[in-house]
């Protein structure tokens, strides 16, 4: 039996004292989120046969005992409550000097004490830490439970960094069953999150029963089918032909709210307004601006013009809805959305224009502010406060509103400077519907890229705010938007383990965070996730491949990285078989021509994840700077090198394409040295719903001085546009070999979008791929 305590030792991470001389290993304390102060002691506590628990005699926290006992139900250890006066193994002690949610956990060789104030949340979080100190096997229901638990002697003093530690479930786009919600609440509780934001209504579904308006669920919770693939990938749109329906009854909501409350989680409902309201207007079109539209529950994902009309009967309807919602949810906050509200209908609506004139408003943006103010006043009269997405800043912020900043941090910074409470949830750091692994090979996600380490690195307190202004930022939130998440299993895949990284962002003080240390603890937590039945992504055990031109060495280097600690990466070049006999990765791989790198992670000879691969292109243009006239509309990665970074784009993701929206584009590129060249290759993208069309002409010219250019070849381009999905069209031009130092491309875009296609008659976008010169 081990007689020493094992703990991760990082200089600035813990307050440590250790009374033995044995080595300290980084594999024992696998606590997530990391407590903010740990003192290691000698010895351990062994629990066998029975664990006695005592609580204050006047305690109303009996649910804590029931919760703890239930966690240990699979062990052979009897958990019994005894009187406060009788010595017990585990004692709950009220200490009102501790802040809300703070706790002290002290384990010695003969007892456990958890201290918290009498609000109870601290006791609950102390229990979660205690459970994580126990072996994972206590959770294993597939075999007979363990009969002995060994706990390290340790003292922990802990409190959260932020009071608001949230996660959002989008159940409007794709309904998730009540059981999935309850399971997610359990996982949130384990990792000390305390706010569940439920996005209950949107264009694709209304998911909560409102008794006064039964058609909201009779009509609004049902759609006949759902689009296939990305919203801008297929033309015409493709649909799966599968009916989707579902909503939570008010009894379901009561159960969810109580279940969360028992785990010290507040459920915040979101009733989206004034936009994202197609499902509600399909049920009650009289609350729209009319305009001859046929309202329906939307089957695809986009921003639609269907919005609530700010008429008195609309406000009466929304107040009725919110009255029932407020009765169901005791949350101080009611989320009213407020994002992505098109003004097209309001601009055409005579009632809206009359209201603008009557209220002395400048424009439709101020009309949206008027709308939000009306709703806030009603919610405030009910004793509650509103949260809105950062668009509610437009036209003037409602007086008592809290802003949820999603379009970056700009809205949150502005609101904090105005002394409004802010919840930071910028998409680039907090949107878990983004890809967490290479989009070329990953399951369908909405786009962008948010790997585990980027989540962990997020700091919700912008440096540009003063300390006082930072105090208005009450927390941060992970958002799991549901457009492409249709099953509970995929919901979990996109959420975990990134939610564990977010839990540490929310709880652990910035000075105590360390990603390498986190990966050591996370590696052990995967076993817990398995026992909890969570379908977590295993990208943690894969290899991420990145390639870049090194201007110092004038070589193209491929770097391999895995999050999995204490492992070895093996790789091969242009060989899809990777074993421990392959090359072990120790430094960046140099490639001098087009190549595909295959790689896998091994631990003591055992493969940890799947073989991943990435293709790179290396030629005379690779790594070279260029000038675009005009500048790109977007250059998603490797700005300034997006066309020469050695990475080709692919049709199902916009990540590695450089986009323009002008008819004529000129690109001037300087080679490293004078070179003989005879071929140029690139690719154009066709995604008609993204109004992206391929070039109709390309011309190449060369120069030795960068001033006088000689045209080498112009090529008119035609395409087979019979495919109905996004397509990558490679284009190559060959010409007599010539010496060149400068290369100029002149590209004509796809021109005006043809009739019959999305945004017909408008100027199309052009998406250009890697420029390759040989």
DSSP labels, 185-224: HHHHHHTT--EEEEE-EETTEE-B--TT-THHHHTTTEES
Q: Give the residue from 634, 648, 620, 579 showing the smallest Cα distance to 737.
A: 620
Q: What pLDDT score does 618 carry?
A: 97
Q: Where in the chain is the domain with CATH 3.20.20.80?
A: 164-206+238-508
Q: DSSP string covering 539-559, please?
A: GGGSPEEEEEEETTTTEEEEE
CA distances from 32 to 208, 222, 562 (A): 33, 39, 20
Identify the helix (H) or strand (E) that includes residue 748.
Answer: strand 727-748
Q: Would you tell me how many other CB atoms lie within 10 Å of the CB of residue 51?
A: 19
Main-chain dihedrals φ then ψ at residue 544, nearest 5 degrees = -100, 130
Q: Structurally, what CATH architecture does the domain formed by 542-616 represent?
A: Sandwich (2.60)
| Separation of alpha carbons 587 and 350, rounded Å | 67
CA distances from 587 to 90, 348, 557, 559 (A): 51, 62, 9, 7
Residue 216 near residue 237, CB atoms below 8 Å = no
CA distances from 103 to 37, 416, 589 (A): 11, 29, 49
DSSP state for residue 653 in the 8-state scheme: B
Q: Is 338 left (phi over 0), alpha (psi -120 to 50) or beta?
A: left
Main-chain dihedrals φ then ψ at residue 311, nearest 5 degrees = -105, 165
Alpha helices (runs of H) in 496-652, residue ranges in sequence order? 498-507, 515-531
| Separation of alpha carbons 665 and 627, rounded Å | 11
3-class secondary-structure state, position 608 = coil
| Separation of alpha carbons 492 and 360, rounded Å | 49
Beta-carbon contacts of 594 under 8 Å, excluding residues fewer than 6 positions away, are: 615, 616, 617, 618, 619
Which token pair is 246?
């579902």
Q: Which residues of the chain have pLDDT under 50?
A: 1-27
Residue ranges with strand state E in 410-507? 422-424, 434-435, 447-449, 473-480
Q: Where in the chain is the domain with CATH 3.30.379.10?
A: 38-158
3-class secondary-structure state, position 253 = helix
* CB-count burial class (<10 Å; 0-12, 13-18, 19+) for 2: exposed
Which token pair is 118?
């009498």
Give the number of residues written for the chain.
Answer: 774
Q: Among all chains, which residue has been given the structure tokens 């999603």?
A: 406
Residue 696 near residue 764, CB atoms below 8 Å = no
| Separation of alpha carbons 221 and 215, rounded Å | 9
| Separation of alpha carbons 583 and 760, rounded Å | 53
Q: Where in the chain is the domain with CATH 2.60.120.260?
A: 626-773
Q: What pLDDT score does 84 carry?
A: 81
CA distances from 551 to 291, 557, 624, 644, 675 (A): 59, 10, 9, 13, 18
| Separation of alpha carbons 272 and 295, rounded Å | 17
Q: Does the domain at residues 38-158 carry the CATH identifier 3.60.150.10? A: no
Q: What pLDDT score does 6 carry?
A: 30
Choose, from 84, 136, 324, 340, the residue flagged as catalytic.
340
Residue 656 near residue 636, CB atoms below 8 Å = yes
| Separation of alpha carbons 102 and 192, rounded Å | 11
Is residue 340 part of the annotated active site? The answer reads yes
Q: For the packed helices 364-381 and 350-359, what is the interaxial angle rounded to 10 degrees?
A: 80
DSSP state for residue 146 in the 8-state scheme: P
Residue 737 near residue 663, CB atoms below 8 Å = no
CA distances from 422 to 104, 379, 427, 641 (A): 29, 18, 15, 36
| Separation of alpha carbons 86 and 102, rounded Å | 26
* CB-count burial class (<10 Å; 0-12, 13-18, 19+) for 605: exposed
| Separation of alpha carbons 689 and 760, rounded Å | 10
Q: What pLDDT score does 52 carry?
A: 96
CA distances from 77 to 5, 49, 53, 54, 114 (A): 23, 5, 13, 16, 20
CATH of 164-206+238-508, one of 3.40.640.10, 3.90.1150.10, 3.90.550.10, 3.20.20.80: 3.20.20.80
| Homologous superfamily of the 626-773 domain (CATH) | Galactose-binding domain-like (2.60.120.260)
Q: Would you tell me how many other CB atoms lie within 10 Å of the CB of residue 705?
A: 8
Q: What's this model's pTM, rounded to 2 decimal places?
A: 0.94
Residue 90 near residue 133, CB atoms below 8 Å = no
Which token pair is 374?
């009306």
């Amino acid at each position: 039996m081990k007689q020493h305590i094992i703990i991760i030792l990082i200089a600035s991470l813990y307050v440590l004292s250790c009374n033995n001389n044995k080595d300290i290993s980084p594999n024992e304390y696998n606590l997530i989120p990391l407590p903010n102060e740990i003192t290691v002691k000698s010895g351990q506590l062994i629990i066998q046969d029975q664990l006695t628990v005592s609580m204050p005699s006047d305690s109303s926290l009996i649910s804590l005992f029931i919760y703890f006992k239930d966690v240990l139900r699979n062990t052979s250890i009897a958990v019994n409550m005894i009187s406060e006066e009788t010595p017990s193994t585990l004692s709950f002690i009220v200490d009102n000097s501790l802040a809300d949610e703070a706790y002290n956990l002290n384990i010695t060789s003969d007892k456990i004490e958890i201290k918290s104030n009498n609000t109870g949340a601290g006791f609950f979080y102390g229990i979660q830490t205690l459970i994580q100190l126990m072996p994972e096997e206590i959770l294993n229901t597939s075999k007979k439970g363990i009969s002995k638990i060994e706990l390290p002697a340790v003292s922990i003093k802990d409190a959260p960094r932020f009071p608001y530690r949230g996660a959002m479930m989008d159940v409007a786009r794709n309904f998730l069953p009540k059981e999935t919600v309850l399971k997610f609440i359990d996982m949130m509780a384990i990792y000390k999150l305390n706010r569940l934001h439920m996005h209950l209504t949107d264009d694709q579904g209304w998911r909560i029963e409102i008794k006064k308006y039964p058609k909201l669920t009779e009509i609004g919770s049902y759609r006949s089918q759902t689009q296939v693939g990305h919203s801008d990938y297929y033309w015409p749109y493709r649909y799966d032909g599968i009916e989707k329906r579902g909503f939570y009854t008010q009894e379901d909501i009561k159960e969810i709210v109580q279940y969360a409350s028992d785990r010290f989680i507040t459920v915040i409902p979101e009733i989206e307004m004034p936009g994202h309201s197609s499902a509600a207007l399909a049920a009650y079109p009289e609350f729209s601006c009319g305009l001859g539209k046929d309202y329906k529950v939307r089957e695809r994902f986009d921003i639609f013009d269907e919005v609530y009309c700010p008429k008195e009967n609309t406000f009466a309807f929304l107040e009725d809805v919110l009255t029932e919602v407020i009765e169901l949810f005791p949350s101080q906050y009611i989320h009213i959305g407020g994002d992505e509200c098109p003004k097209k209908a309001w601009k055409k609506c005579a009632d809206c224009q009359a209201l603008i004139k009557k209220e002395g408003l400048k424009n439709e943006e101020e009309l949206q502010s008027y709308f939000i103010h009306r709703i806030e006043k009603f919610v405030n009269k009910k004793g509650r406060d509103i949260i809105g997405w950062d668009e509610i800043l437009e036209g003037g912020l409602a007086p008592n509103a809290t802003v949820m900043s999603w379009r970056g941090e700009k809205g949150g910074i502005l609101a904090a400077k105005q002394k409004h409470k802010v919840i930071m949830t910028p998409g680039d750091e907090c949107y878990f519907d983004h890809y967490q692994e290479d989009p070329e090979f990953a399951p369908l996600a909405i786009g962008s890229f948010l790997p585990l380490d980027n989540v962990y690195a997020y700091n919700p307190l912008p440096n540009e705010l003063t300390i006082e202004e930072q105090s208005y930022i009450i927390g941060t939130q992970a958002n799991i938007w549901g457009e492409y998440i249709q099953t509970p299993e995929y919901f979990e895949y996109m959420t975990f383990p990134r939610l564990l990284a977010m839990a540490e962002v929310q709880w652990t003080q910035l000075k105590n965070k360390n990603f390498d240390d986190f990966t050591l603890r996370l590696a052990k937590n995967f076993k817990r996730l398995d026992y909890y039945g969570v379908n977590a992504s295993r990208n943690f055990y894969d290899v991420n491949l990145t390639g870049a031109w090194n201007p110092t060495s004038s070589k193209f280097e491929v770097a391999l990285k895995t999050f999995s600690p204490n492992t070895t990466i093996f790789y091969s070049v242009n060989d899809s078989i990777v074993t421990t006999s392959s090359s072990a990765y120790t430094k960046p791989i140099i490639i001098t021509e087009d190549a595909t790198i295959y790689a896998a992670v091994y631990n003591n000879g055992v493969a940890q994840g799947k073989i991943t691969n990435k293709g790179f292109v290396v030629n005379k243009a690779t790594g070279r700077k260029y000038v675009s006239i005009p500048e790109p509309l977007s250059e998603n990665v490797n700005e300034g090198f997006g066309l020469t970074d050695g990475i080709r784009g692919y049709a199902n993701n916009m990540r590695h394409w450089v986009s323009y929206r002008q008819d004529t584009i000129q690109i001037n590129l300087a080679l490293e040295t004078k070179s003989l060249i005879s071929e140029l290759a690139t690719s154009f993208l066709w995604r008609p719903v993204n109004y992206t069309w391929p070039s109709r002409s390309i011309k190449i010219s060369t120069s030795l001085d960068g001033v006088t250019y000689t045209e080498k070849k112009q090529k008119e381009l035609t395409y087979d546009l019979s495919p109905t999905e996004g397509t990558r069209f490679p284009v190559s031009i060959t010409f007599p070999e010539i010496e060149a130092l400068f290369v100029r491309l002149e590209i004509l875009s796809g021109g005006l979008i043809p009739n019959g296609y999305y945004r017909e008659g408008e100027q199309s976008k052009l998406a250009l791929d890697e420029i390759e010169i040989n």
